[in-house]
Amino acid sequence: MRTGLALYKLLSGGAQVGPHRWLSAGEALAIEPGLARTGLVGGGLYADCQMDDARHCLENILQAGEAGAVCLNYLRVENFLKAAGRLCGAVVQDRLTGRLLEISSKAVISAVGPWGDQIRKLAGESGPERLAPTKGIHLVLPRRIHHGLFIEARRDRRMLFLLPWGMVMLAGTTESAVSGDPGALHAAADEVGYLLEEINRALPEVHFSESDVITTFAGARPLLRFSGLANAASRSHRIEEGAGGLISVMGGKYTTYRRMAAETVDFLVRRFRLPAEPGATGRRPLIPAWD
């Protein structure tokens, strides 16, 4: 754990949000009395950040609008427009009215997370799937902790997070293969039981049961399929242009989304020989953070 904290500090560079230090067993219990005492030899204390994912998404949309983008929701891509075998737009349906619309464009970019392979097929692309999405769930429970906890599951040695979230706490996450529609995922009973078991081991005095679960949520990680193997996936990202011109942005995660966006814009600048100035995304805060 000491080595892990040292590496965390090293990789953070100048972007650390606070110091970290090593705690004795007594010091760990003093700040988090509910921890299991058996086998406890100490702990590491470090600072990290939280975000509201829904709000974060909205802030990006609002900022895109400020920059001149036309932002439309409740639209579903039904098909693509083509000219001379190349994509030149999309046919979309307004999910509120049922109306079909045609949107023309110089480039079509697919940045749809775990649905990336579905959009590739809709565009007429073939070949092996690029993604191997995995499912993760969280439990929302009554708050029984003072700090965020990072623990190792006894059953499979997976690292789990227990995080304060206002008056409640979040517990997760799991990892399993996605089958079916990524938009229809839910927490299965065995996944809920697994998390409760590990939480009760780490915090033996809470005695959580299924009746304590306030709600659950599940999502799909759009992991890249590695070398065509379904059981080998990467959290890196890839930008590629298909034979018909669809530009797919695949993989990645929240902590790399701005880099992915910048690389996609750079790709478009090179592809269409567009005039461009150096990007400012690395220095520009989202709208609510502006002065």
Q: Is the pLDDT of residue 146 over 90?
A: yes
Q: Is the pLDDT of residue 291 over 50?
A: no
User: For residue 76, what pLDDT band results from cuts at 50, 70 and 90?
Assistant: very high
Q: Which residues have a Cβ under 8 Å from the Cβ of 243 and sit 6 or more positions away?
A: 125
Domain boundaries, the chain: 1-49, 53-131+228-274
Q: Is the pLDDT of residue 229 over 80?
A: no
Mean pLDDT of the chain: 91
pLDDT tens digits along 27-70: 999 999 999 999 999 999 988 888 888 899 999 999 999 989 99
| Cα(93)–Cα(77) distance, integer angstroms | 7
pLDDT tens digits along 249-261: 999 998 899 999 9
Give domain 53-131+228-274's CATH architecture.
3-Layer(bba) Sandwich (3.50)
